Structure 1
Amino acid sequence: MNTRLHYALISLAIIPGYSPAFEPLNTDDAGTVKKDGNQVEIYSFTTNQHDSNALNAVDLPIPGQDYVDTQYAHAYPATYTRGIGDNIEASIGSAVYAQPKGAFSPVSNTALAMKWRFAESEDGDWALAIKPSVRLPSAPSQQVAGLGYSALNYGATLIGSVYWNAVEIHANVAYAKASYNTNYPTGQNTDPNRTNILFFSIAPVWTVSPGIRLALDMGLTTNPPTTEQYLSNYGLVAAIFSPIEAIDIGLSYMRSAANFGIVTSGSGANTTRTEVGVTWRF
């Protein structure tokens, strides 16, 4: 069985709610954009697969993009978020794919989401939020090429965050209904997929000096192909630089595999994603 990059809707959701999370992480945080405030996130990611000829290779989902194919992907996801209340924000996001190319629009994975921070401590040490979202259908030709699913998808993420002096810890539990048009293959593959997708993650973030944060992000997610193991694992390392209060520059590297042993060692079938971009608040 050949390994292929199988991006189950897990963050822009995929899963964390079908919209970008705490960029450049997969795990979202319970914070919201301030009322009447705006935020723009523009990122670039590249994916690759490794050991694709391994005898025990499996389909490997990577949280972050709904992409399904045997080739690598290169895309530019962007999201606009507006604070509509003291603890509520709304967002719209999409991605422009530079690779793969074909006789279809490069714009795909358009998602709408709303985050509500429904509980928090008076001292700001912890917060809880819920983030429902929908992803608009891709065109059938985009589904065949691997750029999303040609059906309406929806989901929700429960988010918990704790905030200490120099450390934050964020945890996500998410569900997504990842329906697709069964009249067409997904990424040139006709194997049936699981449509109930679960996602679990945790991400500690350290402030190592003013304007510099480092993060780990680890999680489990449903592996879509029904013929393969139910869960896949991922691990991610990231750095966020804030030269001024309104700007974050983020970069991350993620590896997804059948188990955490391969995630940490890289010795086995795995897929990787490298991401870099900027967040601007105004």
Structure 2
Amino acid sequence: MTLLRRGAGVLLAVSALQAAPALAFQPLITDDTGTQGAGGNQLEFASNWQELKSEGDTTKTDTLALVFTRGITDALDIYAGVSHGQVRSSNPTYEAHGHSNPVLGLKWRLYENEDKKFGVAVKPEIQFGAPADYERLGLGNGHSGYSGLIIFSQETNFGALHINYGFTLVNYALESNRTDHRRKLHRLSLAPVFDVGAGWKLGIDLGLTTNSHRTERATMGYAELGAIWSPSEDLDFALGAIRFVGDGELRSHTLTAGVTWRFR
């Protein structure tokens, strides 16, 4: 299997597991139970740089993502997101650019205990299909896919702890991708987030995910270190570094930077 085909699967699977372009709790993959409140709005922008290496070949992907969230009630948000990606390879034949799968989803905080500072939320999402040519180039899935996430958040004396379990059904349009890649993807992750003062937070995100490649073992993992700086209550700047492990000979790492703005 070529790096392009393997890389395309990684990009699509990682995007699904990250709920991209829905940006979750920037810059982390693991989400929190927070919502915008009735009438609240949130605009998220992120830039991601991913590099894949295998057997001397390198594929780099740059992605820009934009997500708008609207608070319907104090406990229910609706959001929509779009993204644009550019793929560059050591083989210039494989270079491409275009939009990825648009997404539409909800986040519902279905339980909250203010005394114990504990909450539970669910997050269903649909990823709308992209052109089949985009799937061939690793930019998006040709058919619509679906995902669901259950989120647990606990405030602590150091900040907060977030735990996620997610499931994604990926619908590939190309027979080669259906043959080479798993369609049912899972993620189990946890992220302690530390309040370090002066508007700064540091997060460590650790997770197990389904390896999309059928020829590799079914489970792989990731680790992320992230930082958030909030100069005001309505503005966040985020930076993170992600390393995926356990994917055979393929080596993958991602840098992500983003801005979150909340307004009414």
What is the 5 A alignment of 1:166-245?
A: 166-183=158-175, 185-186=176-177, 191-245=179-233
Among 133, 137, 140, the residue aligned to 1:145 = 137
SS of the equivalent of 1:109 reads coil
Aligned residue in 2 for 1:61? none
Distance 1:274 1:106 in 2: 20
SS of the equivalent of 1:241 reads strand
Is the CA contact 1:88–1:114 (under 8 Å) kept in the aligned structure 2? yes
What is the 5 A alignment of 1:1-282?
A: 4-5=6-7, 6-10=10-14, 13-16=16-19, 19-50=22-53, 52-53=54-55, 71-100=59-88, 106-123=98-115, 125-183=117-175, 185-186=176-177, 191-258=179-246, 269-282=250-263
Distance 1:246 1:124, change over 3 A: farther
Which residues of structure 1 form unaligned runs of 5+?
A: 55-68, 263-267
Distance 1:45 1:106, change over 3 A: same
Deviation track 1:138-175 (CA, whole Å, cap 9, x = no partner) reads 11110011011101100100100001243200010011
Letter in 2 for 1:23: Q
Distance 1:36 1:278 in 2: 20
Identity of counterpart residues, as a percentage? 31
Distance 2:210 2:172 in 1: 16
- TM-score computed with the length of structure 1 as normaliser: 0.83
Give the Å deviation of 1:193: 1.3
Letter in 2 for 1:156: G
Distance 2:201 2:33 in 1: 17
Distance 1:158 1:8 in 2: 21
Q: CA RMSD in A?
A: 2.5
Structure with more strand by fraction: 2
Letter in 1 for 2:159: V
SS of the equivalent of 2:60 reads coil
Distance 2:65 2:145 in 1: 18
SS of the equivalent of 2:114 reads coil
Is the CA contact 1:16–1:28 (under 8 Å) kept in the aligned structure 2? no
Q: Which has the higher contact order (CA 8 A, sep 6+)?
A: 1
Letter in 1 for 2:261: W
Is the CA contact 2:40–2:262 (under 8 Å) kept in the aligned structure 1? yes
Distance 2:114 2:26 in 1: 26
Is the CA contact 1:80–1:91 (under 8 Å) kept in the aligned structure 2? yes
Structure with more helix by fraction: 2
The alignment covers a number of residue pairs equal to 255
- TM-score computed with the length of structure 2 as normaliser: 0.88
Distance 1:97 1:8 in 2: 11
